Structure 1
Amino acid sequence: MGKPTVGILHPGSMGAAVAACAATNATAVLWCEAERSPESAARAAQFGLTPVTTLSELLNRSDIVISLCPPAAAEDLARDIAGHRFDGLYVEANAINPERAQRITALLEPDATVVDGGVVGSPPVRGKTPTLYLSGPAAATERIETLFASTAVQSAVLGTEVGKASALKLAYASFQKTSRVLVALAVGMARGHGVDQELIEVASRRTGSYLSEPEYVAKTAARAWRWGPELEEAADALAAAGLPPEMLRAAASTLARWHDVKDDSELTLTDALDRLAQP
């Protein structure tokens, strides 16, 4: 089997960087320009991805398609792909709950082979090495491991059951992202009473506490548009497991207060806390 052609759906900051890593072991990495923003086009060009004009061209030419998009769009996108009778390997790499991953698999099979994926870590740029967890048919997960061999994306197979990779991704995100929201609330409360510096001083005595990194609050605010829907997915996964989902739903609704500062890298801690205090 020669090098595959890969298609990336919606090359955002994670998707474009992951796709660029896939290019190491692929003939080409394609993306579809239709209805995408100038920012997407600039990002795709920066990472050396090959533009095509229609989704059907991308699907006809690709052996492997990787779906990395906002979680809410994952199922509609899969339905579009199913409508084109795509018959290659589909990597469902979105932060979605395991039941949704299984529904997407049912939509795309038997034409396509589906691998469940979950990326843990930052986009693979500037020395970062995220892990792409995989679950699904053994021959298919092996092809994805080969695709990312010797790149900044490390792959790890969790077994043959679709849903495992999604579950691991959401279990990790539920802790890590909700913890960041709790930091913002704690610092916001302390600031309201003029004791925020003292709070940070208390926290800094405990190494490894997210509370000792209040500067991350601004990054949390800029990513809230992505993190909120992800925590809603995690809340659904908790509910499906018979566990109480309310804490994650509350974290998601807290993040919603920051939706208007999407990807704002200029945001300061003060700005972020001010916005949080205004419903």
Structure 2
Amino acid sequence: MDQPTVGILHPGSMGATVAACAATNATAVLWCQAGRSAASTARAAQYGLTPVATLSELLDRSDIVLGLCPPAAAEALARNVAEHRFAGVYMEANAINPERAQRIAALLAPDTTAVDGGVVGSPPVGGKTPTLYLSGPDDATARIEALFADTAVRTAVLGAKVGKASALKLAYASFQKTSRVLVALAVGMAREHGVDQELIDIASRRTDSYLSEPQYIAKTAARAWRWGPELEEAADTLAAAGLPPEMLRAAVSTLARWTDAKDDSELTLTDALDQLAQP
């Protein structure tokens, strides 16, 4: 099969690096400049993505489109693609709940074939190898597998039902991200009473505990603007399954205290804890 042309919507920190991996097995990887920030432009240039002026041009030229954006924008993005009657494969790889993934697949049909995707792990740079879980029609998931063959993005197909990849992504995120929030609260409580170092010493004797990594609290704060909406999606998934969502909604409320820390790579542990204690 000829190498496909791929479009990426949009080149954020995960999207740009995943798209760069796809370029290994693609004729070109396109991104749409319209309405994007200077940071997106710089990121796209860094990873060798090809700019186009409009979404229409991207969709007309692409065989496969990768959708990676904040969860809140996922359906609006898919609706824009549906309006153009895109006749290819659309991988919905946002951190959204299974019902939304199924709704998006229905929105795109019959012109577009939807694949449900979920990326678990860090962006594929510096030796990191995230796994892209896929669910959807066999021929479409096979095309996505081929796109990432022999790259830093590993793929795993979960079956033909759209929603399974999203469910797995959120199930993992609900544990991993909420655990990081609990670490921040535990260290914040201990610091208030002058026993934070003792707490960390206890945790360091348990190598499997996130509590032994308090330095990650600052990274959690900087990513809170992304993690909050993702955990909202996970809470909705719990509620739909008849499981209690309150713990995850509380984590979302905690993450909201770090609104001003968005993508702040200079944030220190002390700064993060100070912001957490002063809403």
The aligned amino acid for 1:108 is: L
Q: What SS does structure 2 have at the residue aligned with 1:127? A: coil
Aligned to 1:83: 83
Aligned to 2:119: 119
Q: What SS does structure 2 have at the residue aligned with 1:271? A: helix
Aligned to 1:21: 21
CA positional deviation for 1:207: 1.3
Aligned to 1:66: 66
- 2:54 and 2:31 map into 1 onto residues whose CA distance is 9
CA positional deviation for 1:261: 1.1
- 1:251 and 1:240 map into 2 onto residues whose CA distance is 18
- 2:259 and 2:232 map into 1 onto residues whose CA distance is 15
- 1:127 and 1:274 map into 2 onto residues whose CA distance is 33
The aligned amino acid for 2:210 is: Y
CA positional deviation for 1:10: 1.1
**C-alpha distance after superposition, 1:118-148 (max 9, x if no partner):** 0000000010000000000001101100000
Aligned to 2:56: 56
CA positional deviation for 1:166: 0.1
- 2:253 and 2:28 map into 1 onto residues whose CA distance is 40
Aligned to 2:6: 6
**C-alpha distance after superposition, 1:49-98 (max 9, x if no partner):** 00000000000000000000001100111111111111110000000000
Aligned to 1:97: 97
TM-score by length of 1: 0.99
Aligned to 1:223: 223
- 1:90 and 1:151 map into 2 onto residues whose CA distance is 20
Return structure 1 stretches of 4+ with deviation > 6 angstroms: none
Q: What SS does structure 2 have at the residue aligned with 1:155? A: strand
**C-alpha distance after superposition, 1:191-231 (max 9, x if no partner):** 00100001101111111100000000000000000000000
TM-score by length of 2: 0.99
- 1:192 and 1:56 map into 2 onto residues whose CA distance is 55
**C-alpha distance after superposition, 1:20-50 (max 9, x if no partner):** 0000000000000000000000000000000
Q: CA RMSD in A?
A: 0.5
Counterparts of residues 256-271 of structure 1 (less than 5 Å): 256-271=256-271
The aligned amino acid for 1:241 is: A
The aligned amino acid for 1:196 is: D
Count of matched residue positions in the alignment of Structure 1 and Structure 2? 279
- 1:121 and 1:206 map into 2 onto residues whose CA distance is 23
Q: What SS does structure 2 have at the residue aligned with 1:114? A: strand
- 1:40 and 1:184 map into 2 onto residues whose CA distance is 30
Aligned to 1:166: 166
Aligned to 1:204: 204
**C-alpha distance after superposition, 1:157-213 (max 9, x if no partner):** 000000000000000000000000000000000000100001101111111100000
- 1:195 and 1:248 map into 2 onto residues whose CA distance is 27
Aligned to 1:254: 254
- 1:259 and 1:167 map into 2 onto residues whose CA distance is 26
The aligned amino acid for 1:38 is: A
- 1:100 and 1:87 map into 2 onto residues whose CA distance is 21
Consecutive unaligned residues in structure 1, runs of 5 or more: none
**C-alpha distance after superposition, 1:2-32 (max 9, x if no partner):** 1000000011000000000000000000000
Q: What SS does structure 2 have at the residue aligned with 1:276? A: helix
User: Is the aligned partner of 1:178 residue 2:202?
Assistant: no
Aligned to 1:274: 274
Aligned to 1:141: 141
- 2:142 and 2:85 map into 1 onto residues whose CA distance is 23
- 1:86 and 1:260 map into 2 onto residues whose CA distance is 38
Consecutive unaligned residues in structure 2, runs of 5 or more: none
Identical residues among aligned pairs (%): 84
